[in-house]
Amino acid sequence: MSVDERLRQVLADVFGVKAEDVKEDASPHTIAAWDSVAHLSLVFALEAEFSIQFEAEDIPELNSFRAIHERVAELERVNR
């Protein structure tokens, strides 16, 4: 599975939506269930799925599909 597909699946699992409904522009504005509690669950789910660790300061930056994609890709590159 590509990073894109894995990301969609994580977001879908956390927010309780279908993976195909997680679009490129997904954000707290387009997904109603994306509140502060779900946001933290998303962070932990991403860390588990990609074996990465976000810095506490970076957590608020992960507020859209694109931003998450960029940050995950960056951390994966560092880990390699």
Binding site for other proteins (CB under 8 A): 27-29, 34-41, 43-44, 56-63
Quote the least distance from Cβ 1 to other proteins, whole Å.
Answer: 25
The residue among 9 and 30 lying less far from other proteins, judged by its C-beta, is 30
Please say which residue, 8 or 38, places its beta carbon nearer to other proteins: 38
* Beta carbon of residue 6, minimum distance to other proteins (angstroms, whole number): 20
How far is 56 from 47, CA to CA, in rounded Å? Answer: 12
Q: CA-to-CA distance for 18 and 59, rounded, in angstroms?
A: 24
Axis crossing angle, helix 3-15 with helix 65-79, rounded to the nearest 10: 130
